A and B are shown apart, each in its own frame.
Chain A
Amino acid sequence: MAAPFDLNDDSVVVVIGTGAGGGVLANELAQKGVSVVALEAGGRYLPEDYINDEWDSFGQLAWVDPRTTSGDWRVAKDFSGLPAWIVKAVGGTTIHWAGASLRFQEHEWKAATTYGNVQGANLLDWPIDGAEMDPWYTKAEDKLGVTRTGGRDGLPGNNNFKVFEAGAKKLGYKEVHTGRMAINSAEYDDRLSCQQTGFCFQGCKWGAKWSAAYTDIPRGEATGNLEVREKAHVARIVHNDKGKVTGVEYFDADGKLQMQKARVVCVAGNSFESPRLLLNSASSMFPDGLANSSGQVGRNYMRHMTGSVYAVFDKPVKMWRGTTMAGIIQDEARHDPSRGFVGGYELETLALGLPFMAAFLDPGAWGREFTTALDMYENMAGMWIVGEDMPQETNRVTLNHDVKDKWGLPVANVNFSDHPNDIAMRNHAYERGTAVYEAVGATRTFPTPPYPSTHNLGTNRMSENPRDGVVNKWGRTHDIANLYISDGSQFTTGAAENPTLTIVALAIRQADHLAKEMAAGNL
């Protein structure tokens, strides 16, 4: 049967969310002939719709439905209703993302074994490793057109990169280049090469950056096997008395509650909404929420150890020109406990426009210490720090029954506090990032605190043993055979690398697994 599918068609796979995980999974399944209904809370925006303006774009794309926060992270104070900066749209946060696409390092699949007992951390080894993931990573890199992989050239360096590179070389860093980016350095896969417009975070109007919104989604739809229902907010996953899921209830574009039957349900709403949905689907059979016999749903929330370093020079940089994040120093990504922490971090170039710089350089700050920094905006260079943070059981997404969204559903509360290892690593990275800029004559530097989370991981983690996590090595929930998790919430640990390449590789692999299981009659 071809799309569109009937609400009562119980042969379809329902995918919830159409971002890096869900969008790719939906297309990959459709390409294999599997019938898919993808339900997406947001609307559809394409390159012609994207806006080269930070706040207008935020207003167009960002998820601003209510959420609450707690814990000692500064985001809870400065952006209490906005714990994450993520997209609500067909294509999800792949519209916003900068395109940095890195594989995990081998040892990062085995964090518990490699790092040993870290007090207060809920470390666990992934049930998969680099050898298992290698072919899936290659498929993901080819799909995204990642530069410096598969024979694709690197991007040219912009002004911000040149400052960063010069400083890095002076410090003796070796692994310094314009990154492995899902941004075309030459035309690839029917998409243009990068025109250096500098609005990668606002959606690439040239389509030079990969986004599921204008690649996987339309291609999946073109097969006739994928129906994407936009502005469809999933409220609950329902199950039968045998403990199998049978469909999902969602509010459609007109606000009417609908019920779509399903053979398999795959949850890919990003790491706040995915656990929220499982918790909001609690029933008499599953009083603690679906797939939560381990009690780990919502726990081990990771957001990467992040921060930024901006620096002012006596001459112009104009960092906003060109790619937002094409520049990396990888020398600190290694695991080297002699630095005073386990795991490692990457340093990546980052530029914000003036409006976002004002909001994020030092949230809440005012007076001349702050404004003299902005006065030098034209002479600023910037980098972002992204490192492995420790999973902690108490860093978690729970339901806040006191606050309801417009559908009357309890919202997600996000509780987060840094682990001492996160703090030690951040301080090290601030020192190194500052040194990079001072090496090329920075007159002033700014160790900038983390922004609302862009990387959200771990809240339905993968584990060998059902006692330790929510899903198995295929993303299949330990408790419910036809319920899968397909986004970054399956991450067992976060590694130092930006997560999306791994989310995409896992989604491609999961599609392969699902198609085989369905063909074998196991689903």
Chain B
Amino acid sequence: MTTTIRERKLTRRELLKSSVAAGATLVVGAGFVAASDAAWATETTAIKPETMATLIQMARDIYPHDHVGDEYYVAAVKGYDTADKAEMIEAGIAALNAAAQGKGFASYLAMGWERDRVDVLRAMENSAFFQTVRGGLVTGLYNQKAVWPLFGYEGESYSKGGYINRGFDDINWL
């Protein structure tokens, strides 16, 4: 269900116009969520696109890695876009937005500084919603094989003959 903005021939400006809210890196179109640099986009089926956009930002605020692109966070939370999980997610994100509004912002995504968003998350970190999303990310984000090289981790090594001839002891700065 993933499509890119380039295919849709939408410019960033047009997307911004049609969006309900804009986060640090996210813009929301009708029925889909996209990166502001148009590197990726995803359509939603069961949850609202702005909910998905907020969820992606929440995921990044929970486990922020500045060298890891949004597409990996999208992949990590995409599984919540199903009929059976929609209610839980919509309610959780609504609570997040309500908390942001309580602090004088239009929405969670409208909070420009990570520290403000993190304050909101801290206040709800014991909620089932937060813990579900956080717990899911531990495997949803870090167990993506495509993410591993971004951290230097090399994964499977048996098929390459292990590291016996590939630098198991190549440290040179001690």
Contacts and interface: CB of A to CB of B under 8 A. Distances in A.
A353 interface: yes
Nearest to B174: A166
Contacts of A156: 168-169
A235 B102 CA distance: 56
Contacts of B159: 52
B156 A375 contact: no
Contacts of A159: 167-171
Interface residues of B, number: 38
A371 B72 CA distance: 15
Given A53-B156, A377-B152, A367 B138 contact: no
B170 to A, nearest CB: 7
A195 B154 contact: no
Closest 9 CB pairs of A and B: A378-B152, A195-B162, A322-B168, A197-B162, A358-B142, A196-B168, A354-B153, A52-B156, A321-B163
Contact of B152 (A196, A316, A359, A368): A316
B155 A52 contact: yes
B113 interface: no
Contact of B162 (A206, A364, A370, A378): A206
B158 A205 contact: yes
A61 to B, nearest CB: 16
Interface string A346-363: 000000011101110000
B136 to A, nearest CB: 12
A366 B169 contact: no
Given A359-B142, A366-B134, 16 more contacts: A53-B156, A158-B163, A159-B167, A159-B169, A194-B162, A195-B164, A206-B158, A206-B162, A318-B167, A321-B154, A321-B167, A354-B142, A354-B148, A355-B139, A367-B62, A371-B64
A111 B107 CA distance: 62
Contacts of B163: 158, 195-198, 321-322
Contacts of B103: none
28 contacts: A52-B155, A52-B159, A54-B143, A159-B169, A166-B174, A194-B162, A195-B163, A197-B163, A198-B157, A198-B162, A199-B157, A316-B152, A318-B154, A318-B170, A321-B167, A322-B162, A322-B169, A354-B151, A354-B153, A357-B142, A359-B139, A366-B125, A366-B134, A367-B61, A368-B64, A370-B63, A371-B64, A375-B65
A262 interface: no
A367 B64 contact: yes
B161 A317 contact: no
B63 A366 contact: yes
Given A199-B158, A366-B63, A353 B164 contact: no
Contacts of A320: 153-154
Contacts of B174: 162-163, 166, 440
A71 interface: no
A407 interface: no
Interface string B137-148: 011011100011
A55 B64 contact: no
B139 A158 contact: no
Interface in A249-267: none
Interface in A65-124: none
Contacts of A355: 139, 142-143
Interface of A: 52-55, 156-159, 162-163, 166, 194-199, 205-206, 315-318, 320-322, 353-355, 357-359, 364, 366-368, 370-371, 374-375, 377-378, 440
B153 A353 contact: yes
A188 to B, nearest CB: 16
A358 B138 contact: yes
A53 B162 contact: no
B61 to A, nearest CB: 8
Contacts of A53: 155-156
A321 B165 CA distance: 11
Contacts of B94: none
A365 to B, nearest CB: 9
A147 B136 CA distance: 41
A357 B151 CA distance: 12
B38 interface: no
B13 interface: no
A436 B86 CA distance: 49
A321 B159 CA distance: 14
B169 A375 contact: no
Nearest to A316: B152
Contacts of B61: 367
A206 B142 CA distance: 27
A452 to B, nearest CB: 14
Contact of B158 (A54, A197, A374, A377): A197
Given A358-B142, A366-B134, A157 B169 contact: yes
Nearest to B63: A371
A195 B125 CA distance: 44
Contacts of A374: 65, 142, 151
Residue of B67, B142, B151 contacting most chain A CB atoms (<10 Å): B142
Nearest to A204: B158
Interface string B96-140: 000000000000000000000010010001000000001000110
Nearest to B135: A364
Contacts of A358: 138, 141-142
Contacts of A157: 169
B152 A52 contact: no
B152 A318 contact: yes
Contacts of B142: 354-355, 357-359, 374
A358 B141 CA distance: 9
Nearest to B133: A366
Contact of A52 (B125, B151, B158): B158
Contacts of A322: 162-163, 168-169
A456 B122 CA distance: 36
Contacts of B138: 358-359
B67 A375 contact: yes
Contacts of A197: 157-158, 162-163
B169 A162 contact: yes
A241 B46 CA distance: 63
Given A199-B157, A355-B142, A366-B62, A375 B162 contact: no
Contacts of B148: 354
A353 B151 CA distance: 11
